[in-house]
Amino acid sequence: MAKDIVVLFDVDNTLLDNDHVSADLKNFLNREVGQERQQRYWAIFEELRSELGYADYLGALQRYRKEYPRDPHLLSLSQFMVDYPFANRLFPNSLDAIEHVRKWGKPVILSDGDVVFQPRKIRRSGLFEAMAGQVLIYVHKEHELDDVKQRYPADHYFMVDDKVRILTAIKKAWGNRVTTVFVRQGHYAHDKATVASYPPADVTLERIGELTSLDLGVLMEATSGATQMKRSGTA
């Protein structure tokens, strides 16, 4: 069995319910600026995500400001996002899952995102402290695996994520050196067509909290794909 293990965790919809965050922001925008401008904000948000490859809430707000420079609600919108209580949106047992894998090796956040809002989210949610500051944020994390290995060298890695696309890319790059763990939380994980278009992960969980009941030896056996592991009635 590997001596040195690093467990890499995604953030959005893996440890933290980002769909809930987005719904709260949508409701706030409806109240503050009305449905039409709320929809325009999200259109800008999606345009920017297509350009950048990651979600940029504050960048979308800056672009929104160019279209509505005299909107008196801009300050309240930015304050809502910066001061949002992300700790209330952690999935149940997220912190327990992090503590559980610490028995095996070092837990590290591996996330995509911008350089302001994503770090803020990670700090205010309590995840920065839970990870003892071991946090990596890239534009496209699956393209930065050489840097990940250099910063956190290990004999074996686990990657815990809600996106099968990311897990497939990392499995292709690292092979049996990584165990991919697919957590079926959030809208990406429940997009049946998208999920079906990629190979299954080594391990599939319905909730991040299920990680706390898993044994390292059992997970290592699933790494080769010969004994693919599914939990909680996963289809």
- CATH code at 184? 3.40.50.1000
Q: How confident is the model at residue 234 (pLDDT cuts 50, 70, 90)?
A: very low
Give per-residue pLDDT as tens, 86-140.
Answer: 999 999 999 999 999 999 999 999 999 999 999 999 999 999 999 999 999 999 9
**pLDDT-above-90 percentage for the chain:** 79
User: What's the alpha-carbon Rg for the chain, to the nearest Å?
Assistant: 18
Which residues pair with residue 230 across a beta bridge?
204
Of 86, 111, 133, the domain-final residue? 86
- Model pTM score: 0.90
Range of the domain at 56: 19-86
235 domain-assigned: no
Q: Is residue 82 domain-shared with residue 41, that is, in the same domain?
A: yes
Give per-residue pLDDT as tens, 114-129.
Answer: 999 999 999 999 999 9
Q: Is residue 79 domain-shared with residue 132, that is, in the same domain?
A: no
Q: What is the pLDDT of residue 2?
A: 46
Q: How confident is the model at residue 219 (pLDDT cuts 50, 70, 90)?
A: confident
Q: Measured between alpha carbons, how far is 161 from 8 in angstroms, rounded to an integer? A: 9
Say which residues have a Cβ less than 8 Å from residue 149's Cβ, sequence separation at least 6: none
Distances (CA, A) of 128 to 80, 123, 235: 21, 5, 33
Q: What is the pLDDT of residue 92?
A: 97
Per the structure, the count of domains in the chain is 2
Listing from the earlier edge strand, what are the strands of the sheet with 203-205?
Answer: 135-138, 106-112, 5-9, 156-161, 178-183, 203-205, 229-230
Q: Measured between alpha carbons, how far is 200 from 67 in angstroms, rounded to an integer? A: 43
